[in-house]
Amino acid sequence: KIAMQLLHAGRYAYQPSAVAPSAKKAPIGWFTPHALSSAQVEATIGDFAAAAALAQEAGYDGVEVMGSEGYLINQFLVTRTNHRSDAWGGSFANR
C-alpha cells in the first residue's frame, strides 16, 4: 500500500509569489505572501481535489492532506496567521 501526501506551503514558500490567508510573513520565510482572494481559496480547494483524483488515477491507495505543521490549511485555522474578515476568517467556524 502507498499513500501520497498533499500540501501547500502557503507563507512558508520560498518564492516572491507566495500566497497565504493573510499577508503575514513567516518567521522562517524570506517573502511576505499575498493574501488569497476568495476565488483563489476556492480554486486552491479545487486544486487539492484534482491532485487527489490524479493520485488515485496513478494507482495510489490513499491521500493524506497535510493540514498541520503550519502549512496552508493550518494557516487558515489559527488567528495568528488568519486575519481575514470574510467567509474564510473571523470566527472558528469560518476558519
Give the E-state strand segments of the chain in sequence order: 3-6, 19-20, 34-35, 62-65
Catalytically annotated residue among 12, 14, 60, 71: 71
71 catalytically annotated:
yes
H runs (alpha helix) in the chain: 38-57, 72-77
In angstroms, the CA 45 to CA 49 distance is 6
Catalytic positions, written as ranges = 71
